[in-house]
Structure 1
Amino acid sequence: MNRQILCIDRHYIYPLVLGLAIVFSGTAMASKSSGNSHAVHWGYEGDAGPAYWGKLSSDTVLCGSGKRQSPIDIRNKTAADLYSMTFNYNTLPMQVVNNGHTIQVNYHTTANEGSVSIGGKSYPVKGVPEYLSKLMVGDVPYKLLQFHFHTPSEHARKGERYAMEAHFVHVNASGNLAVVGVFMKRGAHNPLFQKVLDNVSAEINHESVAGGTKINASDLLPGDRTLNHYTGSLTTPPCSENVNWFVMDTPVEVSDEQVRRFARIIGKNARPLQPRNWRNIYQSN
């Protein structure tokens, strides 16, 4: 079990009010489980691409009209009154799926009262037992549900977009989302990412369970845990807002061949940068 402590300003943690019927693909999307979610066809090219997401259905209008959209360019950051943020992830058997929009590694949990629906799966949110992989924001636990990838990176840092970006999706007992973004730059071979590539199925929505392959999500985090926090949105339809974003300042490395292999499976799956508008970005010390 790995524990790393960072700091985040308690005043800037924005609650995500759930109550939408949301279909997930790629980036964190959550709703109260209702069984009446419907699929909206979207993608990254043509008339189903990002420029048209806001017109796909009444559920996706924020993709075109929202003022707190993600991703954004991370620059002109502000120091803030910070408090602790702790990563505490367990080592688990590999459970990976190609959902047609990304490659996603699921961190399954035990059943409990209450749930959110993400990627067609129901995840418990009432209570976060000590043994679960989680992100502590102050004294509030956020359960790690899954992590997935985009190429190129969705966020930029001072105008630079990296080869890839990993998103770690967390939810707390109230259903509020916290997503950690990690830039991935071209460089050395990445052992954890290789495990993901070696175990994913070409079949859409078929979850591969590699019991003999263990992973720990913290192995994909950089050693320098300086991060940037802002209030944004889901980066895929329906682009719901008030998502707590924490984007790491330091990238990890991934080989050029690994980037190409991901792209052969998924293709390019990054939303264009969105206007920052009036939002502040707060950086940890």
Structure 2
Amino acid sequence: MPAIIIFFASFSVSLHKSLPFLLRKKKSSQQKQYSGDKTGPDHWGLLDPAYVTCDDGMQQSPVDINKNSLSRFVTCAKKSLDFDYKPIKDAVAHFNGHTVEIDWTPGPKTHNNSITIGKKQYNLVQFHFHTPSEHRINGRHADAELHLVHRNPEDKSLAVIGVLLQAQATNVPFFKYITALHKSVLAAIKPSSSPSNPSLEALLQDTACYGTQPIGEEGTKVDHKVPVINFSPLVHALKGFTPRWEYSGSLTTPPCSESVAWNVMHDPYPIGLEQLRALVDLQGYNARDIMDSRGAAHK
């Protein structure tokens, strides 16, 4: 655990020195934003009747993994997760104006990458990112978080693997599609020429300044084809998704559906600084507030 806590604190100064140029003025309202206005997370439950669980849910995510949560509803699993992952061909990296998501069209010859929890199998359907991380360790964000979303084909229940990402100097092959997608987006739009950049001191004191706004306008949609995604380096580095923290939570975006089986990795995985810059530039700040075990947001 100390390694996860330390890496974000030690890297934050060098990271934030490189990120001010990514911060941009607010361009347009989105149906679902992460700012404190009337479309922010505190108001998601009012945006649509289908989102009411975001307000009154009792097992909401993300959570702060600390001594308190570990004694109440989070468990540390040291037994290897039962998984079956193989490379995926012909995937697509999507940017919809505020989120980077990678998915693919299953075919008759497509291998169902899966995890098994208990006796239930969940198939990988997509993965996406949050900047900074949504889950925290003893109150601290990681640089970013990868969510591998799995669905049971029968009852449609969900299981998510959350991987905390730690920035490093060199790029990581698993994330090479991020910079490629970023270039495609920049070619399709005209970013603001006069970004509103807070001071370095403000960046270090307020995580909300961490890439506040995404570069795309509402409705911006750009796709980038990814010929092959090889999960082997990720799975190997994470020791077969072990050890990990497990708890029953929710989706971290509307409709905030509950009964999601969360598996948050104990060990971080690296992401290149250039790749993180591109991800932050694309998404801005898209991390939901921490929730307690009763569903109320920590203020």
TM-score relative to the length of structure 2 = 0.66
Could you tell me whether the CA contact under 8 Å between 1:187 and 1:254 is conserved in 2?
yes
CA distance in structure 1 between the partners assigned to 2:274 and 2:76 by the alignment: 39
Partner AA of 2:102 in structure 1: V
CA distance in structure 1 between the partners assigned to 2:281 and 2:111 by the alignment: 36
- RMSD between superposed Cα atoms in Å: 2.6
Residue 148 (structure 2) pairs with residue 168 (structure 1):
yes
SS at match of 1:104: strand
Q: Which residue of 1 aligns with 2:137?
A: 157
Note the residue ranges of structure 2 that are not aligned, 5 or more in a row.
1-29, 189-219
CA distance in structure 1 between the partners assigned to 2:265 and 2:131 by the alignment: 17
The structure in which a higher percent of residues are helix is 2
Q: Which residue of 2 aligns with 1:42?
A: 32
CA distance in structure 2 between the partners assigned to 1:158 and 1:81 by the alignment: 18
1:184-215: CA deviation from partner (whole Å, max 9, x where unpaired): 0122432211233314642634432233xx21
Note the residue ranges of structure 1 that are not aligned, 5 or more in a row.
1-39, 112-128, 279-285
Residue 153 (structure 2) pairs with residue 137 (structure 1):
no
CA distance in structure 1 between the partners assigned to 2:267 and 2:282 by the alignment: 26
Residue 86 (structure 2) pairs with residue 90 (structure 1):
yes
CA distance in structure 2 between the partners assigned to 1:180 and 1:92 by the alignment: 17
Q: What's the CA shift for 1:138?
A: 3.8
Q: Which residue of 2 aligns with 1:184?
A: 165
SS at match of 1:51: helix
Q: What's the CA shift for 1:84?
A: 5.9
Could you tell me whether the CA contact under 8 Å between 1:83 and 1:138 is conserved in 2?
no
SS at match of 1:160: coil
Partner AA of 2:251 in structure 1: L
Change (3 A) 1:107 1:220: farther
* Percent sequence identity over aligned pairs: 35
Q: What's the CA shift for 1:262?
A: 0.9
Give the paired residue count: 220
The structure in which a higher percent of residues are strand is 1
Q: Which residue of 2 aligns with 1:209?
A: 225
Residue 254 (structure 2) pairs with residue 237 (structure 1):
yes
Q: Which residue of 2 aligns with 1:254?
A: 271
1:234-278: CA deviation from partner (whole Å, max 9, x where unpaired): 101111111111100100112333222111111111111111349
CA distance in structure 2 between the partners assigned to 1:218 and 1:177 by the alignment: 23
Residue 227 (structure 2) pairs with residue 223 (structure 1):
no
Query: Please, which of 195, 205, 215 is the counterpart of residue 177 of structure 2?
Result: 195
Bigger radius of gyration among the two = 2
Could you tell me whether the CA contact under 8 Å between 2:79 and 2:243 is conserved in 1?
no
SS at match of 1:47: coil
